[in-house]
Amino acid sequence: MAGAAVTSLSALKSAYRTHGWCEPPYRFSGEAVELIRDRVLAMSRERRPEVVHEQDSGIARAIHGCHAFDEVCAALVRLPYLVALAEEFLGGPAYAYQFKVNLKQAHEGAAWPWHQDFAFWHEEDGMPRPDAVNIAISLDDVHEGNGPLMAIPGSHRLGLLDLPEGRAENGAESDWRTHVSADLAYTVNGHRAESLIREKGRKLFLGPQGSLQVFHPSVVHSSTNNPSPDRRALLLITYNAVDNAPAHPTRPAFLVSRDTTPVVSRADERLGLVAV
Ligand code: SIN
Ligand code: MN
């Protein structure tokens, strides 16, 4: 890691608690991003259940659970700075609950409607509390035109919004494909999102490739289609507190890791961070 840390972990945690997101003062080096992008491209061409395609065009939309089958992704999960962020924010040992890359391909990448991740994890997996944290790594330059991730500051303190009625009573599980497609099972009503934005504003996660952002499982977020010629691949690692593991998950292991062993930090010189 080059350069001095300009924002301490505790200052980042305080911003995260207030807004539901924060931006660490580092980004991945060009070499690190190139290495990860190469692996992502290779994985996206594989025919395996972890690779999900867009409904309309059939091009790769996302790759799930990569840390279980790709050595570079496994190394990423163990990086000391990411583990330190997760442990600081969760207040104790953490394990990798989910790992995914949303590819948002040029011209073809479809939207993610307004939603809260914890709705899926609580309703489908039985995660007890929103004591998990998303760390997002941009694998491409992100600008306003290529479908950036957007979040509504402070919305993580509103609890779960607009859950469909009746599901808890009949105990039905939805098809996991509706948790990873543009047609999501648990969404926040668009009118509600608009009114929340009028009240609280909107944060766009923009920046050069390698940028890091952290966001809360209950923060209301979305992203639009990508009509631009620029891909917007976003890698997301979700760490969960070890004492917050779902008791009886049923979704595939590439969406809900069954291995709740705390992550042990290990430096990897290929995956360098630079101060921003
Ligand atoms: C996106 O890739 O834009 C959406 C990410 C998410 O909903 O977690
Ligand atoms: Mn999400």
Could you tell me the two tokens for 187? Answer: 């969404």
Task: Give the per-residue pLDDT at 171.
Answer: 56
Q: Does the C-beta of 112 come closer than 6 Å to ligand 1?
A: yes
| Domain, as residue range, for 93 | 10-164+172-263
- Mean pLDDT check: name the lowest of 38-42, 109-113, 168-172, 271-275: 168-172
Give the torsion sign (CA, 225, 138, 152, 87): positive
140 within domain boundaries: yes
Q: Does the C-beta of 99 come closer than 6 Å to ligand 1?
A: no
pLDDT band at residue 183, thresholds of 50, 70 and 90? confident
Give the Cα separation of 79 and 86 in Å (integer). 11
203-227 per-position pLDDT tens digit: 999 999 999 999 999 999 999 999 9
Q: Where are the beta strands (DSSP E) in 103-220?
A: 112-115, 132-138, 150-151, 203-204, 212-215
139-156 per-position pLDDT tens digit: 999 999 999 999 999 999
Q: Does the C-beta of 97 come closer than 6 Å to ligand 1?
A: no
Task: Give the per-residue pLDDT at 56.
Answer: 77
Q: Does the C-beta of 142 come closer than 6 Å to ligand 1?
A: no
Could you tell me the two tokens for 173? Answer: 């599980």
User: At 262, which amino acid appears?
Assistant: P
272 within domain boundaries: no
Whether this prediction's pTM lies above 0.85 is answered by yes
Give the 3-state secondary structure of residue 223.
strand
148 within domain boundaries: yes
Q: Which atom of ligand 1 is nearest to the CA of 147?
A: 3
Neighbours of ion ligand 2 (CB under 5 A): 117
149 within domain boundaries: yes
Q: Does the C-beta of 105 come closer than 6 Å to ligand 1?
A: no
Let me know: does 115 contact 188? Beta carbons within 8 Å.
yes
Could you tell me the two tokens for 17? Answer: 């608690």
Backbone conformation region of residue 201, classed left if phi is above 0, alpha if psi is from -120 to 50, else beta:
left
Give the count of domains, the chain.
1
129 within domain boundaries: yes
270 within domain boundaries: no
Percent pLDDT > 70 in the chain is: 95
3 within domain boundaries: no
Give the Cα separation of 156 and 24 in Å (integer). 19
168 has a pLDDT exceeding 80: no
CA of 219 to the centre of ligand 2 (A): 9
204 within domain boundaries: yes
**The domain spanning residue 73 has which CATH number?**
2.60.120.620
Which of 98, 100, 112, 120 has the most ligand 1 atoms within 8 A of CB, as the residue to mutate?
A: 112
Give the 3-state secondary structure of residue 30.
helix
Q: Which atom of ligand 1 is nearest to the CA of 134?
A: 8
pLDDT band at residue 238, thresholds of 50, 70 and 90? very high
